[in-house]
Amino acid sequence: MAADAIVFDVDDTLYDLAGPYRVAYAEVFASRYDLPVDELFKMSRVHSDEALELLSAGRIDEEDHKVLRVQWTLADWGVEVSREEALTFQRVYAQAQEHIALYPEAVEMLDACAASGVPLGIISNGDAAHQHQKMLRLGLDRWFDEGHMVASGDVGAHKPAQAPFRAMEALLGSSGAGVWYVGDTYETDVIGSKRVGWSCVWVDVRGRVVPAVPERPDKVVHSPAEMRDAVVSLLA
């Protein structure tokens, strides 16, 4: 059965966020530490969302959020990072993100979605101004109505909270299992979308650990090409 609507995550789902992370690691930390950068990147996504929870609760500020996600990630490997080092890393990481581009397979996927006429949306965790700037830089306004590109900062609550998903249901005029969510982070994307009764494609390009929770994705894909094919199959 064709999907009623398809909603996408952005970071590390529609483009490769590990590339900018590797650039920043090489420039800031590689000369001093010998750490598994791809594993660091995976944990950084989890810690980023943990810090985002504290930010949205008003317990830390925007700069703390950026510092803590770096410090917590390297602490997993027993490395203590100063605030200054963390901010330097963040600066290089942000600069590297100015050169991101969509996966070619994501472009093909979004072209197919647009041609089918299925309603489309985006829910991306993070600060509203930063996320919207990034969505425009990626050219996502080619496929998505501006009003359907939602940053969690717009809503004041971050995935996996229900509020951003409920806000998207109101925009789309649809809810339930006919609405599909496509995202890479289990803790926010799979758990969040399943808890509101949506269906979910989990994009597990990096071989992440599945947390011990009852929520399970409806489809699992392991590459951008598999993601494209799984989403196109929802259009039939």
Question: Which positions touch Mg ion (CB under 5 A)?
Answer: 9, 11-13, 184-185
Residue 128, phi then psi, degrees to nearest 5:
-60, -50
Structure tokens belonging to residue 149:
């590109």
The smaller minimum CB distance to Mg ion, of residues 9 and 16, is found at: 9
Please, what is the minimum distance in Å from the beta carbon of residue 17 to Mg ion?
Answer: 7
Residue 129: burial class (beta carbons within 10 Å; 0-12, 13-18, 19+): exposed
Please, what is the minimum distance in Å from the beta carbon of residue 125 to Mg ion?
Answer: 7
Structure tokens belonging to residue 9:
């995550």
The smaller minimum CB distance to Mg ion, of residues 41 and 89, is found at: 41
Closest CA to 116 of 105, 108, 124: 108
Residue number of the CB closest to Mg ion reads 11
Closest CA to 110 of 218, 224, 220, 16: 224
The smaller minimum CB distance to Mg ion, of residues 68 and 190, is found at: 190
Pairing outcome for strands 219-221 and 120-124:
unpaired
Please, what is the minimum distance in Å from the beta carbon of residue 129 to Mg ion?
Answer: 18
**Residue 225 backbone zone (phi > 0: left; psi -120 to 50: alpha; other: beta):** alpha
The smaller minimum CB distance to Mg ion, of residues 35 and 205, is found at: 205
Please, what is the minimum distance in Å from the beta carbon of residue 94 to Mg ion?
Answer: 17
Please, what is the minimum distance in Å from the beta carbon of residue 189 to Mg ion?
Answer: 7
Please, what is the minimum distance in Å from the beta carbon of residue 34 to Mg ion?
Answer: 27
Query: Where do the H-state alpha helices sit in 76-172?
Result: 83-96, 104-116, 128-137, 152-155, 162-172
The smaller minimum CB distance to Mg ion, of residues 44 and 185, is found at: 185
The smaller minimum CB distance to Mg ion, of residues 81 and 96, is found at: 96
